[in-house]
Amino acid sequence: MTVKKPSGAKIAAPRRRSPTSADLAAVAAPKSRPLPKAVQAARARKRTPRAVDKATIDEIFTRFHRVEPEPKGELEYVNPFTLLVAVVLSAQATDAGVNKATRALFAAADTPRKMVALGEEKVRDYVKTIGLFRTKAKNVVELSRLLIERHGGEVPQNRDDLVKLPGVGRKTANVVLNMAFGHETMAVDTHIFRVSNRLRIAPGKTPEEVEAGLEKNVPTRFRLHAHHWLILHGRYTCKALRPECERCVVNDLCAAPDKRI
Q: Are residues 171 and 190 in the same domain?
A: no
Q: Is residue 16 part of a domain?
A: no
Q: Is residue 175 part of a domain?
A: yes
Would you call 175 helix, strand, or coil by DSSP? helix
d(C-alpha 114, C-alpha 43), whole Å: 53
Query: Which DSSP state fits 247?
Result: G
Contact criterion met (CB below 8 Å) for 243 and 260: yes
Distances (CA, A) of 224 to 80, 125, 180, 234, 244: 17, 36, 12, 18, 26
Nearest to 145 by CA among 103, 102, 109: 109
The CA-CA-CA angle for residues 32, 35, 36, to 5°, reads 145
Measured from the Cβ of residue 159, the count of other Cβ atoms closer than 10 Å reads 17
Residue 29 confidence class, pLDDT cut points 50, 70, 90 = very low
d(C-alpha 64, C-alpha 233), whole Å: 9
Q: Is residue 212 part of a domain?
A: yes
Q: Name every residue whose Cβ is closer than 8 Å to that of residue 124 and which is 6 or more positions away in sequence.
A: 133, 134, 137
d(C-alpha 112, C-alpha 212), whole Å: 32
Q: What is the CA radius of gyration of the chain?
A: 29
Q: Is residue 195 part of a domain?
A: yes
Q: Is residue 137 part of a domain?
A: yes
Query: What pLDDT, in 10s, does the model give residues 89-136?
Result: 999 899 999 999 999 999 999 999 999 999 999 999 999 999 999 999
Query: What pLDDT, in 10s, does the model give residues 239-249?
Result: 999 999 999 99
Q: Which of 165, 181, 197 is the last residue of a domain?
A: 181
Q: Are residues 161 and 199 in the same domain?
A: no
Query: Which DSSP state fits 222?
Result: G
Q: Are residues 167 and 221 in the same domain?
A: no
Q: If 0-12 CB within 10 Å is exposed, 13-18 middle and 19+ buried, where does residue 237 land?
A: middle
Q: Is residue 235 part of a domain?
A: yes
d(C-alpha 25, C-alpha 43), whole Å: 28
Q: Is residue 231 part of a domain?
A: yes
Count of structural domains, the chain = 2
d(C-alpha 231, C-alpha 244), whole Å: 15
Q: Is residue 92 part of a domain?
A: yes
Q: Are residues 140 and 229 in the same domain?
A: no
Measured from the Cβ of residue 7, the count of other Cβ atoms closer than 10 Å reads 5
Predicted local distance difference test score (pLDDT) of residue 8:
54
Instruction: Please give the single-letter amino acid code of residue 143.
Output: L
Residue 21, pLDDT > 90, answer no
Predicted local distance difference test score (pLDDT) of residue 234:
97
**Residue 117 sits in which domain range?**
80-181
Distances (CA, A) of 124 to 120, 140, 144, 148: 6, 10, 14, 20
Residues acting as catalytic residues: 171, 189
CATH code of the domain covering residue 224: 1.10.1670.10
The pTM of this model reads 0.79
Residue 200 confidence class, pLDDT cut points 50, 70, 90 = very high
Q: Which of 163, 181, 199 is the last residue of a domain?
A: 181
